[in-house]
Amino acid sequence: MEFEFDETQLAIKKEAADFARQELNAGIAERDHEGDFNRQGWRRCAEFGIHGLPFPAEYGGSEADIITTMMAMEGLGKGCKDAGLIFGINAQMWSIQMPLLNYGTDEQKQRYLSRLCSGELIGAHGMSEPDSGSDAFGMRTTARRHGDYYVLNGTKTFVTNAPVADLFVVFANLDPGGGVRGISAFIIERDYPGFKTGREINKLGLRTSPMAELVMEDCSVPAANLLGAEGQGAEIFNSSMEWERGCILACSLGAMERQLDACVRYASQREQYRQPIIEFPAIADKLVEMKLRMEMARLLLYRVGWAKQRGLDTALYAAAAKVCLSEACVQSALDAVQIHGGYGFTTDYEVERDLRNSIGGKLYSGTSEIQRNIIARRLGL
């Protein structure tokens, strides 16, 4: 068993972190306050090669293996303070680009995938509905075949990137009596008749990642834009969620490393009672716990990458990594606020923003409760 990364992977992580620090952090406090999407930063990430990391060269990707991709995303998270930006990039990579690669036709991949990798297009994923959150397949959005088109009706909510997206993968029920076997996936372009984005959704954290509802009223989608086969929507969704659960929090792992470094620096410089607070056992204990959480989360994350590279079933470990990483991020962010004391409660030290951003990790891509249900089923419980 090998626990070391090779020199190339370590170099990629460092390059991604250096790029992010230099190119993506300017004006983050203002963007977070206003909820502004960093379109220029999105394009710079695409030009750097982030969007195309694990994708084939023929679509503008760099064909990186999954562990190398995770390393790059970890580096991006370490260097970039704009968690909303990199959350949006992750959402596109795993829930739009990966389904296109694995289930799309050659024409769909040529038309869309290369333009997503290059940053020309922005993608969004529509699954959740106002009345179906964790019960993802209990959807009311319907689709029916009408000649050379499918006609969709329904509303989606909590759609990351929706206000700025050009392209949408939307799930709808083609056979309401067929249960999950009736669900299909469709590729929708923004200007299709009967399609629009609804109200924008303000959030506690990840404010620079825009979110909105999608509304379809007799929306006409060309039959050629069916993604996969009819009734394959549940498989496509589960596949994309497994990728997302295993990979989306690699950036959060990098953020935890950045946060720990910042806390060590602060505790070494901040004095109380004529000594640095890092010398107080209570503060040292918190720093140690932050380190332990980070390293345990790292082992689980790369366990998923290792298994995926070998074509093994990763459902259990992806769920475990999602729970461990998301909850470790929240607790470490709370510890960081406590270490900074009153300053941690202010916006000046940027610690409170990390806390706000971390909370979403326990909710998106399946709540912690859903992940525990997945683990329980895999254990036969």
Residue 325 near residue 253, CB atoms below 8 Å: yes
**CB-based burial of residue 380 (10 Å sphere; 0-12 exposed, 13-18 middle, 19+ buried)?**
exposed
Q: How far apart are CA 100 and CA 110, in angstroms?
A: 10
User: Active-site residue numbers?
Assistant: 244
**CB-based burial of residue 222 (10 Å sphere; 0-12 exposed, 13-18 middle, 19+ buried)?**
middle
Task: Tokens for 375, please give them.
Answer: 């683990």
Phi-psi domain of 25 (left: phi exceeds 0; alpha: psi -120 through 50; beta: other): alpha
Residue 162 near residue 213, CB atoms below 8 Å: yes
Q: Are strands 195-200 and 226-227 parallel, antiparallel or unpaired?
A: unpaired
Q: What is the CA radius of gyration of the chain?
A: 21
Residue 143 near residue 187, CB atoms below 8 Å: no
**CB-based burial of residue 263 (10 Å sphere; 0-12 exposed, 13-18 middle, 19+ buried)?**
buried
Please state the separation of Cα 320 from the chain's center in Å.
Answer: 16
Residue 371 near residue 241, CB atoms below 8 Å: no
Q: How far apart are CA 73 and CA 249, in angstroms?
A: 9
